[in-house]
Amino acid sequence: MTFFKSSIVNRQSSIRRTLWLSGALLVCLFPIIDPNPYHVDVLTSAGLYALLALGLNIVVGFTGLLHLGYAAFFAIGAYTYALLNLHAGLAFWLGLAPAAIVAGVFGVVLGIPAIRVRGDYLAIVTLGFGEIVRIVFTNLEQWTGGPNGLLGIAHPTLWIPGGGWYDFGVASVPYYYLVVVAAAVVTVMCLRMSQSRVGRAWAAIREDELAASCAGINTVQLKLLAQGCGAAIAGLAGAIFAAKQGTITPDSFDFILSVMILAMVVLGGLGSIPGAIVGALVLGTLPELLRGFAQYRMLCFGLVMIVMMRIRPQGLLGINFATQNLLPRETP
């Protein structure tokens, strides 16, 4: 019996590895297969959504903390890099770390009062935080440019041996590969965390916080860690977004964006890392695919979501991936 179980597990692991490698190969070759700049730009935006979904998945999927103001950390990362670049002349590659750190610190600062409440009350607190950040950026005209935002943010540059400095400019392909690399690094980090003691403690908190606390898990510390990690990933995505756009405004980080990212995580499957990526790719590209139905695009979008939730309420990849780290390991 044990032999058959081991054989099934090995086969499933082989299938997952093959799917990962096939998907990675397709992603790397996409600009060559379809060099259309518009299509590449759409997938680049979907990749940024995937980064945000992976970060929110740590908070909502791994730890079970409902967050409705996640776009605030995206904005904090974007404005951090923009201000450092415009006022201190900091290059993009040096601005990535400060953007992630500042957003992560704000995630922890928000988490200190927010973890005292649960459920719907936590959602209200995070929603309010997201709106406060957007309003603050709108009113601090001296620093943030107010409603007009910040202009002239430097694009990334990369030194190529034998070719000198390469400016990304407004081309789509360099940003596509930049987002792919960032998403790959964050995905590996999330996989490692989900399989670690911290990841299992997060899962225990999500399933029953009281039982986890009685088992000796420091729930307060781990929830703050989840908030900080998720916010830092959003800050990283914000810096890439600001560098890609060259300009940012507070309207780019509204409540609708937070709901959209949450919908991506739910669609893919709470706690599922591949699910968060797939959900972001689906919801990130679906509005563009429905652009031909301009008047009925949002109606079609809503109907697709309703049908999906009726058919698979656990999400696209909720069963195969979200529960695999909760199963106890057999001891020989």
Q: Does residue 17 sit within a domain?
A: no
Q: What phi, psi does 156 have (nearest 5°)?
A: -65, 150
The answer on pLDDT for 195 being more than 60 is yes
Judged by DSSP in three states, 132 sits in helix
* Dihedral angle sign, alpha carbons of residues 27, 28, 29, 32: positive
The candidate with the shortest Cα–Cα distance to 70, out of 56, 81, 57, 80, is 56
Q: Does residue 237 sit within a domain?
A: yes
Two tokens at 105? 């610190």
The answer on pLDDT for 327 being more than 90 is no
Distance of CA 54 to the CA centre of its chain: 4
Total number of domains constituting the chain: 1
Average pLDDT for the chain: 85
* pLDDT, position 293: 67
The answer on pLDDT for 66 being more than 90 is no
Instruction: Decide if 182 contacts 49 (C-beta within 8 A).
Output: no
For the chain, the distance separating the N- and C-terminal CA atoms, rounded to the nearest angstrom, is: 13
Judged by DSSP in three states, 215 sits in coil
* pLDDT, position 3: 52
pLDDT band at 320 (very low <50, low <70, confident <90, very high): very low
Q: What phi, psi does 159 have (nearest 5°)?
A: -85, 125
Q: Does residue 263 sit within a domain?
A: no
Q: Does residue 278 sit within a domain?
A: no
The answer on pLDDT for 55 being more than 80 is yes
Contacts of 241 (CB under 8 A, 6+ apart): 48, 74, 78, 248, 252
The answer on pLDDT for 86 being more than 90 is yes
Q: Does residue 42 sit within a domain?
A: yes
Q: Does residue 136 sit within a domain?
A: yes
The answer on pLDDT for 190 being more than 80 is yes
Percent of the chain at pLDDT > 90 equals: 43
State pLDDT tens for residues 230-256.
999 999 999 999 999 999 999 999 898
State pLDDT tens for residues 154-172.
999 988 887 778 888 888 9
Q: What is the pTM of this model?
A: 0.88
> 187 - beta bridge partners?
none
* pLDDT, position 180: 94
Judged by DSSP in three states, 103 sits in helix
Q: Which domain holds residue 53?
A: 37-253
Q: Which residue has the higher pLDDT, 325 or 205?
A: 205
Q: Does residue 73 sit within a domain?
A: yes
Measured CA to CA, the distance from residue 109 to residue 125 in angstroms comes to 13
Q: Does residue 92 sit within a domain?
A: yes
